[in-house]
Structure 1
Amino acid sequence: MFMSHDDGLCSIGELAERAGITVKAVRFYSDNGLLPEASRSAGGHRRYGPDALGRLRMLRSLRGLGLPVREVRRVLDEEEDGAEAGAGSVLEDVVAGQLRELGSQLTALRWREAGMRLVLECPPAERADRLRLIGAVAGPPNTAPLARFWRAWLPPRMPARATTAFLEVAVAQPPDDPTPAQVLAFARLNALVTRPCTGAERTQPEAHKASEARASAALYAGLAQAYELAGTQLRRGVEPHSGEELDSFVGAYASAYDSRDTPAFRGLLAGQLAADPRIDRYWELTADVITAPGGPPEPTPGSAHDWLFAALDAQTAAAAG
């Protein structure tokens, strides 16, 4: 480092010139404790030591990555301490945090872009409605309204762990890079769950009203397994049929109600499920949100339930005939 003084120290102007930045920037870093000065001259001017240029270059590199001042201070403090164990861990944590934040920002931008395309490409008569729909959705989109919808719909006695497990499969996770169609589907889904509930959207199915918390948890855990099995068949394009999937489905209800899986029980269950309220629109929109562009529809708990119910209905109808 070039020093113009016998004591090996340089002025703020000399340091700024050597680093290729403005005096104002050096002063800002000093005032914020990021670049300690070695001393002051008799006239009160800042003087910097031999290590200042290296620290300043590191500081500029960190700031060039977009790190906020508080995070830069953490990294520089660790480097100054020279800790042998875990050296560089603060830098890794800080950069990882910034990468997560950038990922969220990029996702938000992609959603904004897809939303704008949605408005631009729709017929003029539909633009006001499209703007209203997508304007109610934050970017990145927030799934909290969907979770609230299900928490109000699920049995009140459901254990927290069982509720969380159900929400993981019932709440649509929006893609990071959506198409305009996926943005529209999620916006409609958001509108569906945030408007006042009526009819089927308010009523808990009778077949799901287990009498105890443990029974509710067992029912939904069993249904989740049955839906996963049915989802495999749906992806293969297999028509509803009797088998392991249907046995798992009926078994979940039988276990929850401490009943045996008999032909009579299956007949009663089929009748109850046929009469229960449905929220098909939720599952249709969910499939639109999570299905990859140009790909086959992704199974949802709703479509898996329909597949299983169709298999049960066909079996009980055949037994009755």
Structure 2
Amino acid sequence: MDDGTLHSIGELARRTGLTVKTVRFWSDRGIVVPTGRSAAGYRLYGARALACLELVRTLRDLGMDLATIRRVVDRELTLPEVAAAHAEALAAQIRVLHLRRAVLTTVAERGSTPEEMDHLNRLAKLTEQERRRVVDGFLDAVLGGLADPAVAGIRRTLTPELPDDAAPEQLRAWVELAELTQDETFRARLRALAEDLTARRAEGGDGLPRRDVVAVVRDRVGPAVAAGVDPLSPRAAPVVASLTAGCAEALGTADDEVLRGRLPSLLAAADDPRRERYVALLATVNGWPVPESAAPALDWSLRALAVPRSGATSPAP
């Protein structure tokens, strides 16, 4: 409340913690208006000016420009309107900073060349529509032309959806995932895996798997790996039987010699660090739990399947 006390620019500066130069500058711009002048012609300010200075300092601390601040002071704009617009602008700036941090962190970890850094930076700055084109191009190369209704579901499970308010780790994961999708040998490996699975329709199966074969391996073989079962030992036989039965069920085909003959190549194709990395990055981008590594179970399975085993063995419970 204005008590009639008038203050010089120097007194305003002391009361607000601002410099005399700053107070004079804002006064010259008409943002802080003097109440009157002293006998010597110096500007004097009342309590209203003091409150105005506090508001201006706060808005400047929040990054607001002087032109907008003047419109607030002159009541051309309401403070809530300005705050909402400024908060939105800050959110966009924060997103840009997170993207830059994601690129720089990746460059630092990899020791990237300037050319690689430029490539990563371009991937990070893609719009949502451009990101969609990158992902669609990758998935088209892997799954395009495979005539099976299950392909649509598999495509959805492999699609990254970067949220608008992505966390820094999601942005970093997106940058790496987008780069991985450009790997032609990785695309070819996944394409061969998808074609091998769909080929089972011609052999009496149901085409694409009802369940991810890698998940079957993780579930059926993981306990044996954890227990230290030697894949070359007789103790591995019931685990192998359980594995082939589970894979047959997942693939919609019979647990026969044809499956056992093709299973090693199928698992070898799946035992690719890039595939597992893609799954982990995908989970991070989409905010899903990152699955446990299947590499130990896949390696164990490939070694165990290479051992000739005579006689039928009941699947492990």
TM-score computed with the length of structure 1 as normaliser: 0.48
TM-score by length of 2: 0.48
